[in-house]
A and B are shown apart, each in its own frame.
Chain A
Amino acid sequence: MVDSVTPLKEAIDAIFESGGKSIELCYQCGLCNTVCPWNLVKDFMVRKVVREARFGVSEIEGEGIWQCAACGNCVARCPRGVKIIDVVVALRKIASEYNILPKTIRVARGSLSGEGNPWGGRREERGNWADGLPVKSFTENTEFLYFPCCTQIYDHRTRKIAVATANILKKAGVDFGIIGPEEVCCGESIRKAGDEDLFKKLAKENIKTFIEKGVRKIIVSSPHCYQVFKNEYPEFMVSFEIIHISQLLIQLVNQGKLKFVKEYGKKVTYHDPCFLGRHNGICDAPREVLSRIPGLDLVEMANSYRDSLCCGGGGARIWMETPKGERFSDLRLGQALEAGASELATFCPYCILNFEDSRLGLEDSNVIEIRDVTEIIQDVI
């Protein structure tokens, strides 16, 4: 016996008000299901999530609404223009209001409110990663602000990316500085987790700092920072020039300011981070940079460019535990090995964290290396 439901008007209104109004447009074709990476590991019916929302009968207590990694595959392909990530975020907002949150999100939220980062690191230590490096503090006369991701600041593995980046920028003679304790997390992931208030608080804090410091151009390492600075901060009526490190690198190479002088005789595959490739269309710059490295053999995986396979870290899932067997990053490493690569290169600290985890889960974790492109470049300049 199937139970019967009646559309819940109040719930529908709440979802619409929280940004999910585009669910109205859905004509239930089911394409979203077929492109959602979750269905590579277990059944997950995106269409049903959308349909339930349309009738106001979503289950906000369950795991369902927390699955989405915001990879954007479904949004990119939805023939009807349903902004499915926004729908999911709307549901999370409602869950957030009822305080029905996964525990890990709660932890990250606490840390963000208190210390301005989700990793429980101390705010004062925000600039510590650059200790001993020739990195100056940003002043009004500095051309670029370099804004590393919180991960790069507090996690020892991805900190190497920040270090590599600083070294490269220095070598290329780029005039850049960092802010340190006065900046906070960009807020991308907490917004996806549905905590709009906290996001706004973080964003305003950053904006205030940036304006006070006279920031005009910002270099970011993380596609997530890029996404939120470039596409979401303008909601606060500000406009900074945001440049992803991959874009800057190819400019520097083309201008002759950065020269690759050493051979890098490895077979490398490039993984497009969702927020760099699919969400922001930056697919060619990273490949162009890699292809300029002498000796580097660039191979493609089955899913590439805008069709890339998500590592599983977007949509606040970087803070959540994904059980073994359900990790997209495991599948992605499989693809990299199938392509014959001995190294997987990418441009995103979240991806690096997930892939490193997956690598350790391999029978022989030495078959492949995970590197940020900046780390490779650091080796060849």
Chain B
Amino acid sequence: MIVGGGISGIQASLDLANSGFKVYLVDKSPAIGGHMAQFDKVFPTNDCSMCIESPKFIECDRHPNIEILTYAEVNRVEGEVGNFKVTLTKKPRYIIENKCRGCGTCMQYCPISIGDTYNENLSSTKAIHIYFSQAVPLLAYIDPGTCLYFRDKKCTICAGVCENKAIDFHQKEENLEIEVGAIILAPGYEVFDPLLRPEYGYGKMKNVVTSLEFERILNADGPYRGEVVRPSDGKHPKKVAWIQCVGSRQVIPGGHSYCSAVCCMYAIKQTILAKEHESNLEATIFHNDVRTYGKEFEQFYRRAKSLPGVRFMRSYVSIGREISGSNNVTVKYSANGSVKEEEFDLVVLSVGLTPPKEREKLAAKFGIDLNAHGFCQSNSFNLMETSRPGIFVSGAFGGPKDIPESVVTGSSGAVLCGEILSGRRGKLAREKEYPPERDISAEEPRVGVFVCHCGTNIGSVIDVPSVAQYASTLENVVHTEEVLFACSADSVKHIAETIREKGLNRVVVAACTPRTHEPLFQDTLREAGINKYVFVMANIREHSSWVHSREKKKATQKANDKIRMSVARAIKLRPLKEIELPVNKKGLVVGGGVAGMTSALNLAKQGFEVHLLEKNKDLGGITRRIHYTLEGKDVQVYLNDLIHSVYINPLIHVYTGSSVIESSGYVGNFATKVMHHGKEKRIQHGTTIVATGAEEHKPDQYLYGKNDNVLTLLELEESIVRGDEKIINSESLAIILCVGSREDNRPYCSRVCCGQAIKSALRLKEINPGMDIYIFYRDIRTYSFKEDYYREATGKGVVFIRYDLDEKPLVEAVKGNNGQILNITVTDPVLEKKVVIEADALALATAVVPSAQSEEISRLFKVPLSQDGFFLEAHMKLRPVDSATEGVFLCGTAHFPKHIDEAAGQAYAAAGRACTILAQNTIKSSGAICEINEVNCSGCGLCIKACQYGAVDLQETPDGRKARVTPAVCQGCGACASVCPTAAISINHFDDSQIMAEIDSAYSPTVKKGQFEPKILAFLCNWCGYAGSDMAGVSRMQYAPNAREIRVMCSSRVHPKFIMEAFLQKIDGILVCGCHLGDCHYMKANEQTDKMVNITKKTLEKIGINPERLRQEYISAAEGAKYAEAVNNFTRYLTKLGPVQINEEQERKLIEYKLKKLQKKK
């Protein structure tokens, strides 16, 4: 059982469910998603948060092994590891769950407005409402505190308007008892309540908001529809201040002494986003230390600093006053020897993270211990282990952490459950049984069309009966039917029966968006015994009834068109096979440090055989040089235990002193050649974990290598442990931080050095309390609970002196009273004077650099490196241990510098992810992937460059070199097909004939008289463009009914010939919408779209067609308004421009260009 449905709980659920366990996902909220669902964008990629999280909601929802229990709370946990009995209470929603379709009609009619908690009460919703548009489960619920029925039993409007009779005012609390083997606690965090510290002015001054409120303000689906305006007057703020450490790093009443670990980054993110909304906005971030210690964080900070109008001010502040009239707020800060008071339009409080308010109760119910800060107490080397065996913690309840770390601990928690329950894997998990598939390849297309009313959502705008009537007239359509709710359980059953009875072999459902409901209907097709790929959804709700509700006739016309397009597409669809490949159930782990060993051991404990490679002659990696942690734990004892456990485990084969020569294959079936003791060995494995570690940088500054008293931080630690008298008897010792980190040639922060330096300083103070210790720093980055050790060190007399990069400490060897000493000179920014420190020894906290072998490993295992030289994950936020190559995972310092407990945590996660593959007997790859016709292939290799995944390679054949695709690797984006000069590549399910059919049928050929109405064809990528158009629908944004949409998986699939064809069809304008650059769901495939559009524009110019008739827009899933505006603008533009005129000459050229490259080949 996973308690808490935020991103961490979701990840844990999916991992466990995918590795053969039955999962109960419990959330006390009405929907899963946690805080992440409230965020606008995520750092440092600025991906839209909802776009990347909501697909996970649907995955959980559709998973046969996950049962989601929302609005439910755990009361009691009895029993012990392996056999827990959990008692829960499900709060009444006053909605019958299996009847509610989430249509939202009830919300429109409910007379009671209440604060919308999803929008942090900045906007209102109704007493009956759906938590947020993308909620899973998509169900309404009634707030009994405000609902009129519960007050005086008079109002029952919602029950009256609900077509499904889903309202039940008499619903009672429900108690459940569930038996589970293990529990993951992922209840998340709460944000600090600034009312606890009245000096921030929050609650008194309207224009002082929390960062979470600002997150909603930024969001396109937020209270102000994505307009950055301030609460007092709805005006755009021009000067905004962010105040850091609100509720964090403070020992005053109401505050918390720990660092909240995420606020620096989210404030920087908000600054960048606010600047994107309003380019001349002036942003000031008032901070003490800036803590950008994660992967790519420092670069993100640099980017923000370089923006015009962005100021980082190193001063905590006090709020002055609210100015009457303007409601502006003054902020007082220290600068250059005086206190300045400055006026801001808006003040954002960067509020910290706190443990849940109910933590005490939670701890009592689950029988776990809390730490001094009220977070879950975890084992010092295993961040997921709580004090009660069988109960694990993941996400921010274990301590403040960001999304990737929450995802990592989610995966890790999952795999630890897997470890203790491995004997029961697969026992409760179920797979759905389907009837055998009917072969339809020889059949004439027999299309069935089901038109959904969606209650009144579609039916009240679109004339559904006439649309159904029209559909029945289309070629190959043999059955048409109207349904009230196509997705309801009885409708789905009825559709399956109809398919069987009428012998349908193509199905079109005209209803809502395929992004949520396609999997359901595809499943229906399988149940009816036909291939799931012969299905099309015509989206007449998000794309028509919801967005053209004031133009009913045009909306109906568009519905007709969309159904015609869908039928045309359906006719061209072919059944596809999902390839099943056997999985080799062995794991390979490269690197025998803490991360590698932890992964290997975990896989072995789950029953998988593991090959563990280590290049050195001993296991242990860099941890051999680390002796204790900041928290005071003995590392060597832990390390030796780990090494011992690895050696005695019969399932782990250790190869020390080995190197990799070659690796080939794909997920589930890799083969790696290894040189071991002079012999070549071939290892076959299903997954690979790369854990090759990192190294300590050897500097060439500060007299290192020239003076014996200058050492690195690791050398200092070794000296301390050795009891080197010269060091421990020093009168004075200095440590310089950021040596080789955070500089132009190595811009990243090495993350561990601040903690490591403080660790050694504390140890030295313990051994020799009289020693003077000075630490020279740029920013102290003791994130999370490490902050307490920073304070402890200062309290024990360690002096911290800050320096700037443009004036590094000056280190000189001089003669002292008792021999040679070091003079270290630096300007103290508060004293505004040079301070000279005399030190007997100097330790340098040098950068953590990628291991020397990483480039080779990168090449061998096809795992790209980041600019910093660390291994690159598939997705910064949601796939932090997956690599771009399926089946290859990353962990430990090979991924980025990290502390031992973090490396181990990530190692569990990597093992967990590997396990989701190793636990399967076979793996399926999608049928919607590319297929290469070798006859047409000229072997030019352009497709290989286009493919972001290395799925295509060249193979020698008797007819010359030919491209070949590895189906298990292909992701189906279609980028290869768009660059293929000979049309040798076809993308299954999105092939040329299918897309051409949609283009050709987009507009009815009957010429309409009257005013000119531009005809627009919009190509929308599945993940952003299409999702953005859905968002416009969900938000009921009204826009011109002039576009006909075609869905492609990636905008890179849009081939110039589609555009030529569209103009041949006399379509007036073509809109191509993809993700923002950098947000592409196929890595960088959408950069190709850019190039395609530019080249095609030039071609159009040559032909004599105005190139402005082709437009490209970047639209994220949250940018519904942007999509609506894009269609409106284009419609206006084209109306002015007039209809496209194609003369014979141009027609000839268009055809020529459409076929050109293919002809060249012939």
At the interface, yes or no: A267 with Cβ under 8 Å from chain B? no
Cα–Cα distance between A45 and B340 once the two chains are bound (Å): 12
Q: Which residue of A lies closest to B797 (CB)?
A: A24
Cα–Cα distance between A121 and B949 once the two chains are bound (Å): 92
Q: Is the CB of A39 within 8 A of B251?
A: no
- B252-280: which have CB < 8 Å to A? 252, 255
Q: Is the CB of B835 within 8 A of A307?
A: no
- A245-278: which have CB < 8 Å to B? none
Q: Which of B251, B795, B802 contacts A79 (CB 8 A)?
A: B251
Measured CB to CB, the closest approach of chain A to B264, in angstroms, equals: 14
Q: Is the CB of B288 within 8 A of A29?
A: yes
At the interface, yes or no: A198 with Cβ under 8 Å from chain B? no
Cα–Cα distance between A54 and B772 once the two chains are bound (Å): 13
Residues of B within 8 A of A5 (CB): 831, 833-836
User: 1/0 contact trace for B185-201 toward A, CB 8 Å?
Assistant: 00000000000001100
At the interface, yes or no: B1114 with Cβ under 8 Å from chain A? no
At the interface, yes or no: B1006 with Cβ under 8 Å from chain A? no
Q: Which of B249, B250, B794, B835 contacts A55 (CB 8 A)?
A: B835
Cα–Cα distance between A2 and B832 once the two chains are bound (Å): 8
Q: Is the CB of A57 within 8 A of B795?
A: no
Q: Is the CB of A45 within 8 A of B334?
A: yes
Q: Is the CB of B334 within 8 A of A76?
A: no
Q: Is the CB of B838 within 8 A of A6?
A: yes
Q: Is the CB of B334 within 8 A of A34?
A: yes
User: 1/0 contact trace for A12-48 toward B, CB 8 Å?
Assistant: 0000000000001111111101111001000101011
- A53-98: which have CB < 8 Å to B? 54-55, 57, 76-81
Cα–Cα distance between A57 and B836 once the two chains are bound (Å): 13
At the interface, yes or no: A114 with Cβ under 8 Å from chain B? no
Cα–Cα distance between A77 and B332 once the two chains are bound (Å): 14
Q: Is the CB of A55 within 8 A of B831?
A: yes
**Given A4-B835, A31-B318, A34-B317, residue A25 in contact with residue B791 (CB < 8 A):** yes
At the interface, yes or no: B337 with Cβ under 8 Å from chain A? yes
Q: Which residue of B lies closest to A22 (CB)?
A: B795
At the interface, yes or no: B825 with Cβ under 8 Å from chain A? yes
At the interface, yes or no: A302 with Cβ under 8 Å from chain B? yes
A-B contact count (CB 8 A): 113
Residues of A within 8 A of B837 (CB): 6-7
At the interface, yes or no: B321 with Cβ under 8 Å from chain A? yes
At the interface, yes or no: A124 with Cβ under 8 Å from chain B? no
Q: Which residue of B lies closest to A50 (CB)?
A: B830
- B805-831: which have CB < 8 Å to A? 825, 827-831
Q: Is the CB of A7 within 8 A of B830?
A: no
Residues of B within 8 A of A80 (CB): 250-251, 791, 794
Cα–Cα distance between A381 and B242 once the two chains are bound (Å): 52
Interface size class of B (residues with CB under 8 A): 35 or more
Measured CB to CB, the closest approach of chain B to A224, in angstroms, equals: 24
Residues of B within 8 A of A3 (CB): 833-834
Q: Is the CB of A33 within 8 A of B334?
A: yes
At the interface, yes or no: B169 with Cβ under 8 Å from chain A? no
User: 1/0 contact trace for B745-774 toward A, CB 8 Å?
Assistant: 000000000000000000000000000100
Q: Which residue of B lies closest to A79 (CB)?
A: B250
Q: Which of A4, A6, A31 contacts B317 (CB 8 A)?
A: A31
Q: Which residue of B lies closest to A28 (CB)?
A: B830
Residues of B within 8 A of A78 (CB): 252
- B298-338: which have CB < 8 Å to A? 314-318, 321, 332-334, 337-338
Measured CB to CB, the closest approach of chain A to B369, in angstroms, equals: 26
Q: Is the CB of B198 within 8 A of A57?
A: no
Q: Is the CB of B199 within 8 A of A307?
A: yes
Q: Which residue of B lies closest to A40 (CB)?
A: B339
User: 1/0 contact trace for B835-872 toward A, CB 8 Å?
Assistant: 11110000000000000000000000000000000000
Cα–Cα distance between A79 and B797 once the two chains are bound (Å): 18
At the interface, yes or no: A51 with Cβ under 8 Å from chain B? yes
Q: Which of A6, A34, A36, A307 contacts B316 (CB 8 A)?
A: A34
- A301-321: which have CB < 8 Å to B? 302, 307
Q: Is the CB of A29 within 8 A of B316?
A: yes
User: 1/0 contact trace for B784-813 toward A, CB 8 Å?
Assistant: 000000110011110110100000000000
Q: Which residue of B lies closest to A29 (CB)?
A: B316
Q: Is the CB of B830 within 8 A of A34?
A: no
Q: Is the CB of B797 within 8 A of A77?
A: no
At the interface, yes or no: A52 with Cβ under 8 Å from chain B? yes
At the interface, yes or no: B245 with Cβ under 8 Å from chain A? yes
Instruction: Find the residue from A34, A43, A52 having the highest chain B CB count within 10 A.
Output: A34
Measured CB to CB, the closest approach of chain A to B290, in angstroms, equals: 13
Cα–Cα distance between A3 and B338 once the two chains are bound (Å): 20
Measured CB to CB, the closest approach of chain B to A22, in angstroms, equals: 8
Q: Is the CB of A7 within 8 A of B245?
A: no
Residues of A within 8 A of B252 (CB): 76-79, 81
Cα–Cα distance between A138 and B825 once the two chains are bound (Å): 65
Measured CB to CB, the closest approach of chain A to B1099, in angstroms, equals: 60
**Given A24-B794, A29-B315, A51-B828, residue A43 in contact with residue B333 (CB < 8 A):** no
Q: Which residue of B lies closest to A26 (CB)?
A: B794
- 29 A-B residue pairs with CB within 8 Å: A2-B834, A5-B831, A5-B835, A5-B836, A6-B838, A7-B837, A24-B794, A27-B288, A27-B780, A28-B829, A28-B830, A29-B315, A30-B316, A31-B316, A33-B315, A34-B332, A34-B339, A35-B332, A39-B332, A45-B338, A47-B334, A47-B830, A55-B835, A77-B318, A79-B252, A79-B255, A80-B250, A302-B321, A307-B199
5 closest cross-chain pairs (CB), A and B: A30-B334, A79-B250, A4-B834, A31-B316, A29-B316
